[in-house]
Amino acid sequence: MLDPFSLLPLALAAHDGHVDEHEVQQLVAAGLTLLQRSATLVRALSGKRAAVLLPTSPSFFTALAACEGRGAVLINPLAAPPEITHQLRDANVGAVFTNTTLAAGLPADVPYVLLDEAPRAARIVADGRTRDIDLGSHAGLRIAGDTDVVGRDDEAAIVYTSAMAGIPLGAVLSHRNLLSNARATVEAAGGIADDSVLAVLPFAHLFGLSVTAAAPLLAGGRVITMARFNPTRAAELLESGEITAIAAVPAVFRAVLAMLERKTESSVGRLRLCICGGSPLDRVLQDRWFDATGVELRQGYGLTEAGPVCLFNRVDVPNVRGSLGVPFPGVEVSLRTPIPYDEAGHALPVDRIVESNEGEICVRGDNVFRGYVANGERGLPLRDGWLHTGDLGKRDAAGHIAFAGVVKPMFTRNGFNIYPHEIEHVVATCPGVDAAKVREVVVPDRESEISLEVVSSISADDVKRWCADRLSAYKQPAAIAMRND
């Protein structure tokens, strides 16, 4: 029999960690109880995947456990209803774990479970009927097994990403992928049992799930969740001494820093570790953060298809500002001949791939995903066992790698990936639109904004409404220019 701790949620429950005031064992036990007490849910999930559409909160772990080891589609709470529908249909989802607010964005025919009151209770809505489930009082799990066992190669999570060719693809991550990367985070970040990590990123984003949740829980630490990022509250938590670590995107650190710098005197209490990723980090922001807090802002690099972290300025060596760091434990990193993309966003063949100290960042290891749900030829290529990330790097004599741009058609906005062809594809389906073109507008200190040029007989307001109904908030164009050719 395979060790139960080779499943991600059970592995997280094995180390006596906490999410807010809840023992993670209690949250996971509630999820397993949900399955035991609901034949309706079991039938809905039979032969299908599950989906989790929840904010950063304790109920996320109840949902993850209720997926019972099957692939769970992790949907960003910021997703628009058409984006949600695409993911559910593409991944063959049988039921969704969500809350009352977010359930409004689901298709009418999809069964769902409301976890507003988890881990105490849940409500199942299916076939026009509603049933309340008492999840009882849980003291936690007591399962025998090796808590350090490697994860299973079965599906654990599906995250939609890599819309280089216009349609987001579901990257399939196994329990082995996610557990290996989370354990590597514990090693590289020096995780200890009394750490309290502030979780402000969506757990649907693997950076949020792996670094701010799975890693601290595997170390027996505490996760303090913030369902909606509030820089004032984040600064207060730091000053109170309640937080020892925070991992986030540059925009989050910039906002928190603004709060700290407004005060004549500020403290960050017990803060010892600050991890930044998701998009390129400005060296000036690193300098200012250290000046204000006395704690280094350590940059890392990763992507969904690699579970996600590949490079990091680990805590047992001096931080190198301006660098993505060195290879993560268990991850091989090579800089190779870049694979180009055509105008449609498809990777092209390359006659000869050569390794050097400057080129496309390529990775391999237990963290690398198993492929996409469908249409893998439109995603990031795997060549000779190496995942080609579409990002460029340059290695110095000490082995640190600096970010050097991208070859894939993509840029970042507030830590989220923006794929121009995806937005163009959505806008092109609007009646009256003949053509659409997205351009990146670099904004100093704020990454990039989205500029949209449309050839159409309709108005900019019409296009704006079309985008608002069909694209996530972070994909909305900042400027729309209309032409009537």
Are residues 163 and 282 located together in one domain of the fold?
yes
Token pair in block for residue 219: 């170390």
For 355, phi and psi rounded to 5 degrees? -90, 140
Which two structure tokens, joined as six digits, stand for 350?
């390359």
Residue 412 lies in a domain: no
CB-based contact 138:25 (threshold 8 Å) = yes
Give the pLDDT of residue 1.
Answer: 43
Question: For the chain, how many structural domains are there in total?
Answer: 3
Separation of alpha carbons 310 and 334, rounded Å: 11
Residue 233, φ and ψ in degrees, nearest 5: -65, -40
Position 138 scores a pLDDT of: 56
Q: Are residues 321 and 456 in the same domain?
A: no
In a domain, 83, yes or no: yes
* Model confidence pLDDT, tens digit, residues 25-40: 999 999 999 998 999 9
Q: Please check whether residues 176 and 295 belong to one and the same domain.
A: yes
CATH label of the domain that carries residue 49: 3.40.50
Is residue 176 domain-shared with residue 265, that is, in the same domain?
yes
- Cα 215 from Cα 433, distance rounded (Å): 47
143 and 71 within one domain? yes
Residue-level pLDDT at 246: 97
Half-sphere CA count of 297, side-chain side, radius 13 A: 26
Supply the CATH number for residue 449's domain. 3.30.300.30
Same domain, 170 and 295: yes
Q: Which domain holds residue 88?
A: 4-149
> Of the residues 149, 182, 216, which one is the last residue of a structural domain?
149
Whole-model pTM: value is 0.96
pLDDT lower than 70: segments of the chain: 1-2, 137-141, 143-144, 445-446
Q: So what's the pLDDT on residue 140?
A: 57
204 and 324 in a single domain? The answer is yes
Domain match, 286 and 428 both: no
Looking at the fold, whether 429 and 399 belong to one and the same domain comes out as: no
437 in the same domain as 337: no
What residues are paired with 416 via a beta bridge? 413
SS (H, E, C) the chain: CCCHHHCHHHHHHHHCCEECCEEHHHHHHHHHHHHHCCHHHHHHHCCCEEEECCCCCCHHHHHHHHCCCCCEEECCCCCCHHHHHHHHHHCCEEEEEECHHHHCCCCCCCCEEECCCCCCEEEEEECCEEEEEECCCCCCCCCCCCCCCCCCCCEEEEEEECCCCCCCEEEEEEHHHHHHHHHHHHHHHCCCCCCEEEECCCCCCHHHHHHHHHHHHHCCCEEEECCCCCHHHHHHHHHHCCCCEEEECHHHHHHHHHHHHCCCCCCCCCCCEEEECCCCCCHHHHHHHHHHHCCCEEEEEECHHHCCEEEECCCCCCCCCCCCEEECCCEEEEEECCCCECCCCCECCCCCCCEECEEEEEEEECCCCCEECCCHHHCCCEECCEEEEEEEEEECCCCCEEEEEECCCCEEECCEEECHHHHHHHHHCCCCEEEEEEEEEECCCCCEEEEEEEEECCCHHHHHHHHHHHCCHHHCCCEEEEECC
Q: What is the pLDDT of residue 318?
A: 94
The two beta strands, 382-383 and 297-302, are unpaired
* 413 occurs within a structural domain: no
**88 found inside a domain:** yes
320 and 357 fall within a common domain: yes
Report the alpha-carbon angle 252-255-260, nearest 5.
120
Q: Is residue 411 part of a domain?
A: no
Structure tokens at 193: 């049992």
- Which of 379, 406, 433 lies at the terminal end of a domain, its last residue? 406
CATH no. for residue 339?
3.40.50.12780
Total residues belonging to the chain: 485
How confident is the model at residue 68, as a pLDDT? 86
111 and 49 share one domain? yes
